[in-house]
Structures are given as C-alpha cells and as structure tokens.
Structure 1
Amino acid sequence: MEFLKGDERLDYLLAENLRIIQSPSVFSFSLDAVLLARFVHVPIQKGSLIDLCSGNGVIPLFLSLRTKGSIIGVEIQERLYDMAKRSIEYNQLENRIQMIHGDIKEIPKELGFGKFDVVTCNPPYFTTPTSEEINENEHLAIARHEILCTLEDAIKASSQLAKQGGKVAFVHRPGRFLDIMTLMRKYKLEPKKIQFVYPKQGKEANTLLIEAIKNGNPDLKILPPLIVYQDNNEYTSEIKEILYGK
C-alpha cells in the first residue's frame, strides 16, 4: 500500500472507524494517549485545538471524533510527522486536522499567542538520561526522554498558545505531579481537575491526567481513580468503555 513505508502497519484506531499508521521500530501509541484524548474537555461544535508532541497523530485523530473544531498537531521528528500526515490523508481528514513539523518551543511565535481553546500534550516523561541509559533507537529516545524539550518547555508553550480561559491538558507520570503543578502555576495555568490511573486495584498509580485553565480561579477537583486491569488481567469496564465504547 502506498500509504505505508518500511515496517509500518495500518491499525484500526480501536473501536473507531479510523485507521492509523504505526511502526514497531519508530512509534506506536499507548493507552496514555487514548486516556488524554478522552479526559480533556473539548468544544463540540467549533473551536481551535492544538496537540503538542503529537507523535504519529493519535490524539488529533481521536479528538476529531469529539469535536467539529479545527485541530493542529505538532511533532518535531520528521518521520513521525510524516506518519501522522499520511494517517490524516488516509482518513480524509485534511480539512479538519493539520500537522506541523516543528519545535513546540517555537510554535507560539509561529502561530500566535493566545489563539487556542484547547491545548493537549503527551510529552516525554523522563529526564535526559546518561549516554549509557539512552535508548539506541533515536525515535524512541526522543519520544520518551527530555532530549529536545523539557516539561517546562511543554507547559510554557501550552500556556502561550492557550486563550484566556482556554483548557490545557497533560498526561504524565505521578512522580512529576508536583513539578507539573508548580510549572503550571508559574505559567498562569490553574489546575482544575486531576485523575490518577492505576494498573490494578491496590497498586500505585502509574499515570496522571491533569487539566488546567489559563488564568483560572483556584478550585481543584480530584476525580475518582481509574483502574486499568482486573485481577484476571482483563480491562475493567471503565477502560473497555473508553477504548471500545458502550
């Protein structure tokens, strides 16, 4: 198929009538991206949305099912940007989703400050490793580690892009919770709702979902915990509904 290159494959986007290009050696989306796309509050009929650190475009594709607004995805890795662009073309969503190959630190200057109703970001989770620890696969190393952008870079850019009262939502690791809260307030993003995700009942949380409002008033809501797996290693009913619908 002309849409695919190398070891790429064309996967179904879970229960949705969409397909996405993935590659085991370059990038495949995780549950984190799905959870963020479902967690964030989006305007249904119109609005401007932007997703930073888009990878292969999974969050913009998911968001296109929840809103009729315009969506931009930003990805710094050319190979991943190309995969996302081809997925958008395959699904005939070019009139709804635009991909930009660029550095999120420069995007506010390029697109303009305070232009977006919603900003989402699934940034690299881990601080820059030593040369001995870094993944030999450059694509995976950049996606997972703060090599080309830090958490502060991502939060600062998100704040610059968001309108007054606009929503900014991140998915990250609970270990960075205080860093996220501190940086969000530094850049005038007031955390409004948080949800912790647990692999199983009785285990420690391994994922954090957080949504803030640009220059919002303090009023933080902690949502009920989200459990991914039952004891028999099957998805819980909540996760099944998120992944596959009712």
Structure 2
Amino acid sequence: MRLLSQDPPEDLPRRVPLKLQPEPGETLDSICSGRVQVLQRRQGYRFTLDPLLLAHFAINEGAAQRGRLMDLGTGCGIIPLVLARRLGRKDITALELRPHLFSLAERNVYLNRCEREVSLVQGDLRRVGMQFAAGSFAHVLCNPPYRTQDSGRSSVSMEKAIARHELACELQDVVRAADHLLVPRGTLFMVYPASRFGELTSVLRVHRMEPRTVRWVHPLADRPAKRVLLHAVKAGRADLTVLAPLVLHGDDEHAFTDEVNAMLM
C-alpha cells in the first residue's frame, strides 16, 4: 500500500496482507457491476446506499478535480473503493478509528487492487492535527454518524452503534477536522439527515464553511426528504445552489429510479 510520504517503485512486489476471502461471519458483496467487491461483517457494520450517493455527488460537484482527497471515517472503505474503481479518482486517503474496521478496509483495498490509489490511516478524526498538517487536502468527504447519543435506541452491536450514533465523534468534530485538513477554498462533501440540516449549516458557518450546493434525497417523489447531500467551501462566499431533488424509488417502491441504478452500475 502506498505510503503517505512517497509512492513505491513500479517494480516493488505487491504485498498482499491477511486473507482476501470471506472469513467466518463475513460476506463478500459486489457492486458497480462487479467492479467493486467488499468484504463486510455479517452482523456488524454494513454500508448503506448513502456513501454511494455521496461518492457520486462529490465527483459531480468537483471532487474529480486534482488535489488530495480525504475520506473521514471510511469504515470498510466503500467510498474510496467507489471513487477509485468506479469513478477513476486517485490520491485518496482514508481515515478509520476502529482497528477491526481498519483491517477490513485494508483487505478491501488489496482485494480491489487499489493500493496505488488509496492510502489508509488508522486514527481519530478528532485529532487529525496530530497526523496531518493543516491544509493538506483539497477535498474532504464524510458520511458521519447521524444520531445524537440520546436519540433513538442504540444498536446492540457497538460497531453499528458507533457508525449510527455520535459516540466516537459529533458533528462539530467532523467539521472542525475538515477545517483543519482543507486548503483555503477546499471542499467538504457530506450526506446527513434532512431533519438536521439547520444544525449542519450552523456548525459549518462557525468553522468558516459556507454551503455551496445541496441536493435533497427523497425516498419517493411525494415523500419528504430523508437525507441531504451537501457541498461546502472553506472560506467561500454565500452563494447557495439547490439542485433538483434525488428520488430513490419510482412507482415500484422496491426498485430504484434510473438515476440511482446508474450509480450502482
């Protein structure tokens, strides 16, 4: 895997760590017409549609441009894998706190032969200043925990609970980390509950992040939005664009719309 400081020589033998086949209690899932394969825990954290929507939104909104890209809280590595294998993005760094998920992400990077595109770092986004210099990245993506600690019933699985509830980090931690990591006028991309959009914009502006583009995500065309995809600019000007809504399902509530299906192909 590529080190943060330098790329390996082209003739360096490929080091393959651990097992690249499912172990007991794991599944091997394929997305993007088989171009991305993902090892996941059968009972633990499993990725949802949200990170796939975020990856495509970010690319459409400028994350395809040159410059280093950071995925905060990468989990099993799904966002970097889609960016690299499906969308052709390079120079991706992914940060993950939990050792077992970091190990799973590492296996997935090698499984998909993305060692040269993706660098994995184990660490806490609340302490990014200890691992990365200020202004090290042009783009930051994050699919953070959605629920406050006291909202709803926490999952019986700690792995799921940390992914869903603000146990290991809160919204302000994510935005503060992005502020440190981004260059001036660098871009932050997030997917977040529509119900917390007001809180999200308030926290962004405290940290000099100005919302630039938003897209509401609706389960059905006649239903309220459940998610919002947001693109913010560090030290940017107030100039918000609201894109056409993204509708997940058509008349058949069990089938995705053509636009969503295109993201999954």
TM-score (norm 2): 0.87
Question: Match of 2:166, SS?
Answer: coil
Aligned to 2:4: none
Query: Aligned AA for 1:2?
Result: K
Aligned to 1:7: 25
Aligned to 2:39: 21
Distance in 1 separating the partners of 2:107 and 2:62: 25
Distance 1:43 1:174, change over 3 A: closer
Structure 1 residues without counterparts, runs of 5 or longer: none
Q: CA deviation at 1:133?
A: 2.9
Q: CA deviation at 1:101?
A: 1.4
Distance in 2 separating the partners of 1:45 and 1:218: 22
Distance in 2 separating the partners of 1:54 and 1:11: 17
Q: 2:215 aligns with which of 195, 211, 219?
A: 195
Q: Is the 8 A contact 1:19 1:87 kept in 2?
A: yes
Aligned to 1:166: 186
Q: CA deviation at 1:15?
A: 2.4
- The one-character-per-residue Cα deviations of 1:43-91 (angstroms, maximum 9, x if unpaired) are 5464200000111100011111434431111111111111111000111
Query: Aligned AA for 2:146?
Result: Y
Matches within 5 A, 1:61-72: 61-64=81-84, 65-72=86-93
Q: CA deviation at 1:165?
A: 1.2
Q: Percent identity?
A: 30
Question: Match of 2:106, SS?
Answer: helix
Query: Aligned AA for 1:176?
Result: R
Q: Is the 8 A contact 2:19 2:107 kept in 1?
A: no
Distance in 1 separating the partners of 2:223 and 2:192: 17
Aligned to 2:107: 86
Distance in 1 separating the partners of 2:163 and 2:63: 28
Aligned to 2:224: 204
Aligned to 1:48: 68
Distance in 2 separating the partners of 1:68 and 1:229: 28
TM-score (norm 1): 0.93
Q: Is the 8 A contact 1:75 1:102 kept in 2?
A: yes
Structure 2 residues without counterparts, runs of 5 or longer: 1-17
Q: Is the 8 A contact 1:45 1:69 kept in 2?
A: no
Distance 1:141 1:43, change over 3 A: closer
Aligned to 1:77: 98
Q: 2:233 aligns with which of 213, 225, 241?
A: 213
Distance in 2 separating the partners of 1:35 and 1:2: 29
Q: Is the 8 A contact 1:10 1:20 kept in 2?
A: yes
Q: What is the number of equivalent residue pairs in this alignment?
A: 243
Question: Match of 2:232, SS?
Answer: strand
Q: 1:116 aligns with which of 126, 134, 137?
A: 137
Question: Match of 1:125, SS?
Answer: coil
Distance 1:99 1:42, change over 3 A: farther
Distance in 1 separating the partners of 2:63 and 2:250: 33
Q: CA deviation at 1:18?
A: 2.1
Question: Match of 1:106, SS?
Answer: helix
Query: Aligned AA for 1:27?
Result: Y
Distance in 1 separating the partners of 2:63 and 2:176: 23
